[in-house]
Amino acid sequence: MARNERLIPASPERVFAVLSDPDSYGHWVVGSDTIRDADPEWPRVGARFHHRIGVGPFKLNDHTEVIAMEPDRHLELHAKARPLGTAHVVLDLERRGGGTNVTMVEDAGDRLTKLVFNPLTHFLVRRRNDESLRRLEELAVGR
């Protein structure tokens, strides 16, 4: 499991506004290339956005679905990048002072992906998610 935290100098409402905009994921999620389409009810439970991930000529199309959501506090996602695997991602927002402590936990989203999640994979995912949370902060503070 990869666990990251970041104190963002913006309110939980501002951070959640970024998470509620499916087009923002193309910017703040490292490895995401473009958002191809999104259900209009995003981020309600069951809603999806369809994305392209990868670098250079190596691109995959798949989708991310909302598993659970509590406005301004919690977002749980099932992100797919098949055939590479799936991820279970939880974002918890907690008001702290004038900002928001964001905790992001990412783990394998299915049994097959768990076979390749090892200490090195978790380390690399933590590094990637450090940068993702930095980009999330950039968007939340800029709103």
Note the CATH number of domain 2-142: 3.30.530.20
How far does CA 135 lie from the centroid of its chain?
11
Domain range summary for the chain, segments of one domain joined by +:
2-142
Which residues fall within 8 angstroms of residue 57, CB to CB, at 6 or more apart? none
Q: What is the pTM of this model?
A: 0.92
Helix (H, G, I), strand (E, B) or coil at 130: helix
pLDDT range class, residue 126, cuts 50, 70, 90:
very high
Residues 98-109 have pLDDT tens digits of 999 999 999 988
Residue 82 has pLDDT above 80, yes or no: no
Q: What tokens were used for 66? A: 């909302």
Q: Look at 87 and 131; give whichever has higher pLDDT.
A: 131
39: phi then psi, degrees, rounded to nearest 5: -65, 140
Amino acid identity of 97? G
Q: Are 51 and 33 in contact (CB under 8 A)?
A: yes
pLDDT for the residue numbered 83: 66
